[in-house]
């Protein structure tokens, strides 16, 4: 355990069997504020034995929890929802401090997580099976929906409240146990979520939380009691997680990279386009998988570029508690250096940088991971600036003559997470939503994240798996179906050998 190291939140425990569990790990990682590099906490990389203990605790709890009636499980979710609302501002401030997000973004994230918990409150109706009487003479058939066992979630740094809340409330409401491994960069918010869940009446062990890096992920996936793995993160790591889980014949869903395009038609409302494009491009410092990182200007919409550049110059990053800041810092110094390198690479490859955010400063915070809004035009599909997910406040502008060209451009990109079109034409909107090969489409909505009664449905290189997050698909992911064929005999029916498999 670290010694003589002062941090604001101290040495973080694991969360196993319903309580804080100090770790015996010899490997501890610093959690630093992206705003000023101050030390927030020290987080342990759980030992192999601690990971196993967490999974076994979740398994033991699940054996009893699956017998709890679905309406009673839903009542735990109702109490949890109430607690999350009561602690909304506390959670938002904690989240803002460890991610650097401005408070408005942090509050919005916590609320979106609460909306998924609301969906989990209706789990009884979502787990109903099907029945058909007389599938044959005197024979009835029906299906039952039952939990899998112990499921695992591996979550990223950019949404430490919303994405864990995508996962464990629905999984547990379905009758499963759950082991959560959040990003080691943002452990504070997930730990508080787990504490509040226990306070809501969740049984000890049903939700366990461990920290770590690749070895801990491997220990989770390879444990024989883990039945399903849900992951959100980079395409490279997501591919590794998906291959490893499926090689072990486990269920997996992996939400990975993105390169989201927003198509701007000349008949769109210019003021709305400029406002929405700035927010979608630089909001949360561009560190969200649904951020717009490519604007496709169709025809005369290219003439709006000077005004778009002015709009980009008008917004600035700042600390989480600033009323003046449009967004916060990048998560780490390494993340900032990567974004700066991609900007330099774009310039070197011939793109025209209209607004360069690399030299931005924030008064009073010289050590923050700041990156100003950055805008390019003249970007082409062969450039690295276009091919890679930047995960920073950088918008690449491309110009085409027709909507069909814009759709072809989007469909040729390997990713298919989200896209949008801004237009005043219903015909153009219909063509776009019908032809574009992307899972989540916005019509005059820049970031079309669905509400939780739908599902988060990235396509192609943005998702590995078959069943998506939250909504009905998540319930299917965290459960399996048992089909029963049933016949009863009257006492006066003679018994004897039945040598046929026919039910007719």
Catalytic residue IDs: 289
> Which residues are CB-neighbours of 242 under 8 A, at least 6 positions away?
231, 252, 254, 464, 465
End-to-end CA distance of the chain: 69
State how far the Cα of 469 lies from the Cα of 451, in Å rounded to an integer: 11
Cα–Cα distance between 360 and 141 in angstroms, integer?
A: 67
Give the 3-state secondary structure of 65-79.
Answer: HCCCCHHHHHHHHHH
Q: Are strands 352-355 and 292-298 parallel, antiparallel or unpaired?
A: unpaired
Q: Is 264 helix (H, G, I), strand (E, B) or coil?
A: strand
Give 359's contacts (C-beta < 8 A, 6+ positions apart). 372
In whole angstroms, what is the distance from residue 418 CA to residue 441 CA?
6
415 vs 436: CA distance, rounded Å? 12
Bridge partners of residue 262, in order along the sequence: 295, 420
Q: What is the DSSP letter of 413?
A: S
Residue 211, CA atoms < 13 Å, CB-side half-sphere: 33
Asked if residue 188 lies in contact with residue 12, where contact means CB atoms within 8 angstroms, the answer is: yes
From the CB of residue 63, how many other CB atoms can be counted at a distance below 10 Å? 10
DSSP one-letter code for 202: P
| Residue found by looking up tokens 């003439």 in the block | 303
């Amino acid at each position: 355990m670290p010694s003589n190291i002062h941090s604001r939140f101290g040495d973080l425990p694991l969360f196993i069997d319903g309580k804080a569990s100090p770790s015996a790990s010899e490997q501890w990682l610093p959690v630093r504020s992206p705003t000023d590099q101050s030390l927030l906490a020290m987080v342990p990389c759980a030992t192999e034995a601690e990971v196993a203990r967490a999974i076994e605790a979740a398994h033991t709890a699940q054996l009893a929890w699956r017998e709890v009636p679905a309406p009673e499980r839903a009542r735990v979710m109702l109490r949890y929802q109430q607690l999350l609302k009561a602690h909304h501002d506390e959670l938002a401030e904690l989240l803002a401090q460890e991610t650097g997000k401005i408070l408005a973004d942090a509050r919005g994230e916590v609320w979106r997580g609460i909306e998924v918990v609301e969906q989990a409150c209706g789990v009884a109706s979502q787990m109903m099976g099907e029945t058909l009487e007389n599938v044959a003479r005197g024979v009835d058939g029906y299906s039952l929906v039952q939990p899998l066992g112990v499921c695992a979630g591996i979550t990223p740094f950019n949404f430490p409240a919303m994405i864990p809340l995508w996962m464990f409330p629905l999984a547990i409401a379905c009758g499963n146990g759950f082991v959560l491994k959040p990003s080691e960069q943002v452990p504070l918010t997930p730990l508080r979520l787990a504490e509040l869940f226990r306070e809501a009446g969740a049984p000890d062990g049903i939700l366990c939380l461990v920290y770590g890096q690749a070895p801990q992920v491997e220990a989770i996936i390879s444990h024989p009691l883990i039945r399903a793995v849900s992951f959100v993160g980079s395409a490279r790591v997501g591919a590794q997680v998906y291959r490893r889980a499926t090689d072990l014949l486990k269920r997996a869903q992996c939400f990975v990279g993105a390169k989201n395009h927003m198509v701007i038609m000349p008949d769109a409302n210019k003021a709305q386009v400029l406002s929405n494009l700035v927010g979608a491009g630089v909001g949360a410092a561009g560190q969200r998988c649904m951020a717009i990182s490519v604007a496709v200007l169709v025809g005369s919409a290219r003439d709006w570029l000077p005004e778009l550049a002015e709009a980009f110059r008008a917004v600035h990053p700042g600390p989480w508690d600033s009323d003046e800041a449009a967004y916060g810092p990048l998560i780490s110094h390494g993340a900032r250096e990567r974004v700066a390198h991609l900007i330099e690479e774009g310039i070197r490859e011939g793109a025209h940088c209209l607004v360069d955010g690399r030299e931005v400063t924030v008064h009073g915070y010289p050590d923050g991971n700041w990156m100003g809004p950055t805008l390019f035009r003249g970007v082409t599909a062969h450039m690295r600036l276009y091919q890679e997910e930047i995960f920073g406040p950088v918008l690449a502008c491309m110009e085409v003559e027709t909507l069909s060209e814009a759709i072809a451009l989007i469909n040729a990109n390997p990713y298919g997470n989200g896209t949008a079109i801004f237009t005043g034409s219903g015909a153009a909107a219909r063509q776009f939503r019908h032809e574009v090969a992307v899972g989540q489409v916005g019509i005059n909505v820049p970031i079309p994240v669905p509400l939780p009664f739908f599902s988060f449905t990235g396509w192609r290189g943005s998702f590995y798996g078959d069943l998506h997050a939250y909504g009905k698909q998540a319930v299917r992911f965290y459960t399996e179906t048992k089909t029963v064929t049933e016949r009863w005999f009257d006492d006066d029916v003679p018994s004897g050998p039945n040598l046929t498999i026919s039910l007719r």
